[in-house]
Amino acid sequence: MQALRFLLPFLKPYKRLAIGALICLVGLVIFDLSIPRLVQRIIDQGIRVHDQEVVLYTGLLMLCISLLSLAMAVANNYLSVKVGEGVARDLREAVFLQIQDLSFGNLDRMQTGGLMVRLASDTAAVQRIVNISLRIGTRAPLLMLGSLLLMVDTSPSLALRLLPLILLTLAIVTVFMLRMEPLFLMVQQQFDRLNTVLQENISGVRLIKAFVRADHERARFSEVNTVFTGYSIRILRTISTMSPLLTLCVNAGIVLVIWHGGLAAIQGELTVGQIVAFTNYLLTTLTPLAMMAMLSNAWANGLASIRRIKELLETVPEVTDMATGAATPLSALGEGPLGVSFCGVSFRYNQVDPAGNGEKGEWILCDIDLAVKPGSTVAILGATGAGKSTLINLIPRFYDVIGGSILVNGVDIRELRQQDLRALIAVVPQETILFSGTVADNIRYGKPGATLTEVETAARAAQAHDFIVRLPERYETRIEERGGNLSGGQRQRVAIARAILYQPRLLILDDSTSALDVDTEARLQQALTQLPFAHTSLLVAQRVSTVLAADSIVILDKGRVVSQGSHEELLAHCSIYQEIYASQLGDPELSASMFSEAVQP
């Protein structure tokens, strides 16, 4: 019932088509049920009394009904397929949009494989269930009910004798359906796992080869595959036990009808036509029951899919906007580069524990106070795992702070609509993401209307132009999936060009120059200071060379700000900075010249 309630809004736009399909179906059932009655008439009022006219006219009537049945069946199929496809398309879109709407925190807990299954297989399973419901799924119970009534009408005493057998068949089907539902659910879960492993293997195939882990991955896949196959076999075994049992019930029914009916006919209580009609009605009672049991596969599958889609669509994004109208308008931020203030910010992942077992993540950021002046360049330096990416991910509200607040130009970011806030910021993430398409398309991603000159200017600033013009088709060269035909450093520069072209008021580079050589990085840093639009820059880095030219460097250690100042101030007073500096660039004295080179315009 819950599943139906969930599906109703998706069915609403196709109400007329669905009603049309059901009307055809009712017509079809009426025609189906009329045939045995006409057969009875041919036998009793035609063949038995040698009345050719009755045989001829009734035969013709049956032919007309068959043709009408055919037309109804075609119309019913056409309409139900349209409804099923339409509902599936709308569901796919809803799932897709929901995935887009979910916050990073929600997505962290969902596996990509599972989401792909939701989008592809689950929506297809719902399409099947809608399609089936408008066809055989409704036709079968209607036929059964009609046949039962007509059996009683034909011979109440014979119908009464057959009642135990019909109830037994119903019980068998119910037991099998109940047994199969959890099995189908398990099959779907295993299918999710199978997809996840497969997807990880496809995306990580280079790594697997490099570490010679093919055997390990084969074993992992084989394990999931075996479990999946095991459940599938259990389902097939259950179905193959049920089929002969149902056939036995149908055959037993026919024997009972012929036996009791035959005796009644000898005593003149029943006609031959009535026995034939009764046998037909018995078949149209029991056969749909068997069909429904077979369809229980699709039903259970579809219901499990609906449950999973429902769960996904009902997931509340962890980061939400204030109610419409209550959000602060962007105009409150004024013009020009953004200033960012962290006021006592604390954060941990898994603050919302989906399992409800009270386990929450460790604190990743503790009591961060930090001010980034508008128009300045601030670098965040720290060891791996210090919380640098986490810190900058809080600014565009990829995650919401748990303690404290973040202000942008004096406005708490939670008062801004996520879309508005993000439109002011360009983030170059640590892991470069490129889409398949041309180099120019990728650079234009945030500003689709940009001219080629604008694209080139951004690429020059990102130190990408030189390598792009050496590509076979320059800016029109196609980038393969995930940038497979570019080097790591080239990918990073395309991603930086994309952010520059966007002309954000706050530019965040999350360790996105890590694959560049020191010279290229220095040129890039230089170019970033001369961008033709007013902006604030936040640079996350592990390398000291990346942060030398920043106005201010923040040292983050184990989620806390341990020091902040210019390169010279930190070199003089901050022991962690001195250590990082010495480990990466050697003797501070010797490297002083490098610093002056980096900051020279």
Please identify, among the stretches 86-94, 278-286, 382-390, 406-414, the one whose residues bind ligand ATP according to the rule CB under 6 A: 382-390
Please identify, among the stretches 49-57, 145-153, 385-393, 447-455, the one whose residues bind ligand ATP according to the rule CB under 6 A: 385-393
Of positions 111, 225, 430, 578, contacts ligand ATP by CB under 6 A:
430
Within 463-534, residue ranges assigned H as helices are 465-469, 488-501, 518-529
Q: Which is nearer to ligand ATP, 234 or 348 (CB)?
A: 348
Q: Which is nearer to ligand ATP, 348 or 373 (CB)?
A: 348
State which amino acid sits at residue 434.
L
* Distance between CA atoms of residues 558 and 365, nearest Å: 8
Please give the residues from 157 up to 196 whose contact with ligand ATP meets the rule CB under 6 A. none
Site string for ligand ATP, 307-346 (x = CB under 6 A): ----------------------------------------
| Consecutive H or E run containing 174 | helix 156-203
Of positions 386, 408, 411, 462, contacts ligand ATP by CB under 6 A:
386
| Consecutive H or E run containing 213 | none
Listing DSSP states for 246-271 in one string gives HHHHHHHHHHHHHHHHHHHHHTTSS-
221 contacts: CB under 8 Å, gap ≥ 6 = 194, 197, 198, 201
Q: How far is the CB of 539 from ligand ATP (least distance, A)?
A: 12
Please identify, among the stretches 9-17, 164-172, 283-291, 379-387, the one whose residues bind ligand ATP according to the rule CB under 6 A: 379-387
Q: Which is nearer to ligand ATP, 386 or 494 (CB)?
A: 386
| Residue 385 touching ligand ATP (CB under 6 A) | yes
| Residue 52 touching ligand ATP (CB under 6 A) | no
| Residue 419 touching ligand ATP (CB under 6 A) | no
For CA atoms 325, 327, 332, 333, give the dihedral sign.
negative
For CA atoms 296, 297, 298, 301, give the dihedral sign.
positive
Q: How far is the CB of 351 from ligand ATP (least distance, A)?
A: 11
Please give the residues from 483 up to 512 whose contact with ligand ATP meets the rule CB under 6 A. 511
Pairing of strands 560-565, 411-412: unpaired
432 contacts: CB under 8 Å, gap ≥ 6 = 483, 488, 491, 492, 494, 495, 512
- Using a 10 angstrom Cβ sphere, with 0-12 exposed, 13-18 middle and 19 or more buried, the burial of residue 408 is buried
Of positions 390, 418, 512, 520, contacts ligand ATP by CB under 6 A:
390
For CA atoms 83, 88, 89, 90, give the dihedral sign.
positive
Of positions 86, 387, 489, 504, contacts ligand ATP by CB under 6 A:
387
Please give the residues from 356 up to 375 whose contact with ligand ATP meets the rule CB under 6 A. 361, 364
Please give the residues from 449 up to 488 whose contact with ligand ATP meets the rule CB under 6 A. none
* Distance between CA atoms of residues 554 and 568, nearest Å: 13
C-alpha to C-alpha distances, 237 to 13, 179, 243, nearest whole angstrom = 40, 12, 10
Q: How far is the CB of 566 from ligand ATP (least distance, A)?
A: 21
| Residue 388 touching ligand ATP (CB under 6 A) | yes
Of positions 69, 279, 389, 432, contacts ligand ATP by CB under 6 A:
389
Q: How far is the CB of 497 from ligand ATP (least distance, A)?
A: 22
| Residue 514 touching ligand ATP (CB under 6 A) | no
Residue whose C-alpha is closest to residue 509's, from 519, 500, 520: 500
| Residue 108 touching ligand ATP (CB under 6 A) | yes
Listing DSSP states for 72-110 in one string gives HHHHHHHHHHHHHHHHHHHHHHHHHHHHHHS-HHHHHTS
| Residue 111 touching ligand ATP (CB under 6 A) | no
What are the beta bridge partners of residue 380?
A: 540, 554
Q: How far is the CB of 105 from ligand ATP (least distance, A)?
A: 8
Which tokens sit at 402?
Answer: 């748990």
- Using a 10 angstrom Cβ sphere, with 0-12 exposed, 13-18 middle and 19 or more buried, the burial of residue 261 is buried
Q: Which is nearer to ligand ATP, 95 or 364 (CB)?
A: 364
By CB under 6 A, the count of residues binding ligand ATP is 15
Q: Which is nearer to ligand ATP, 225 or 430 (CB)?
A: 430
Please give the residues from 540 up to 599 whose contact with ligand ATP meets the rule CB under 6 A. 542
Please give the residues from 120 up to 139 whose contact with ligand ATP meets the rule CB under 6 A. none
Judged by the rule CB under 6 A, the positions of this chain that interact with ligand ATP are: 108, 349, 361, 364, 382, 384-390, 430, 511, 542
